[in-house]
Amino acid sequence: MHTWGKFADKSVTDLCRVAVNRALGDAGIGWRDVDAVAAASSRFSGGKGWGLNGNDVVEDMGSTGIPVYNMSAGCAAGGNAFNVGYSLVAGGMHDVVLVVGGEKMPKGFIQTSGVDEDSDPEFLRQRCVGMPGPSFWALLCRQRMAEMGTTEEQLAKVAVKAHEVGRHNENARFRQQFSVEEVLASNLVSDPLHLYEICPVSDGAAAAVICSAEKARQLGGTMPWVAGSAVATARFDDGLPRGLAGTVPAGKAHHSEAAIAVAGALEQAGASPGDLDLVELQDNTVYYELAFPEEWGLCEPGESERLLEAGETLPTGKMPLNPSGGFLCFGEATTAMGVFQVCELTWQLRQEAGPRQVPGATLALAQTLGLGGNASALVLKR
């Protein structure tokens, strides 16, 4: 991983080079040992203006003629690229695949629509309805507050917990601790969400090497195994209206794509939600650490707040969530996020996470959610 932050003097290829070299060194292989590259790509920062980030990495590291697979799936691109890399190895096409994601984000609210086109719902939502991400997340919070009795103090406690563990992560951008009072005193962005309860945009890069079982035995060392990897898109009866108007069906997951991907990865792993030792989930805002565990069956509806306040979502608790510090401490470098989660799960399963270590972790889940109703999930085991 390359540390997250804002790096005006570095290109996205510079960030990726650091992550790739560290991943190769960790695996004990050289660049010429890589059979293929699966890259998370975006329109924001790379790939000749066409999202060809993987091609930039290959040209930078050395043009050896290997195939490159550039994946674009918004914030789920890193997880999607991992799924492609895993499929290439599991399917027997390649023995060693490098997965890489790097991003340099523009300042301000993320403009999700790339075109001024009145047939694009994202363009209409942002320009006509006037709802950037924080406003959307604020509505979700208000709904939960009305239905579950969630308080503003409980929302703030999610951010407090994130920074309590994130301060121990040398790769995180924000490593300071906050009190509940300090979170609630930070600038109000979209009622009820404050500045410290929303992830910022960041620059960052991460990389991982996936290899076949035979190659793994040759390389030796301690490594996790991919127990499951799944991608999904939103269903038509999703719990969120995907157009400009609609009603929310009772009992539906607010992000069906995430629920489907998580269920698929767990099924491949032959595991249930209760078997997981830790979860890295996409916390663009504090709401998701409360809602996602309930939607995926990690706990009962309305139980997340109690588990949070009892300390059960800390690395030493019964349901560790985002021991890395999550998006709240890293900031969102969109396409790199799914690969950043792979790094964290790997270090956790190797027992290399230091003060944020989940004791005895052997089974871990990562999840991302992206524009276009895209989602990814993966399960690693030791």
Output the CATH code of domain 2-106+197-381: 3.40.47.10
pTM: 0.93
* Phi, psi of 63, deg, nearest 5: -80, 95
Quickly count: other Cβ atoms within 10 Å of residue 147's Cβ: 10
* pLDDT score for 251: 60
The token pair at 282 is 């996409």
Whole-angstrom distance, CA of residue 343 vs CA of residue 320: 16
Convert the pLDDT of each residue in 290-343 to its tens digit. Answer: 999 999 999 999 999 999 999 999 999 999 999 999 999 999 998 999 999 999
- Indicate the DSSP class of residue 213: H
- In this model, does residue 119 exceed pLDDT 80? no
Torsion over CA: 134, 254, 233, 23 (sign): positive
Beta strands in the chain (DSSP E): 2-5, 36-40, 68-71, 96-104, 188-190, 193-194, 203-211, 225-233, 278-280, 363-370, 374-381
- Report the range of poorest mean pLDDT among 29-33, 250-254, 350-354, 373-377: 250-254
Distance of CA 230 to the CA centre of its chain: 14
* Phi, psi of 128, deg, nearest 5: -95, -45
Spans of all domains in the chain: 2-106+197-381
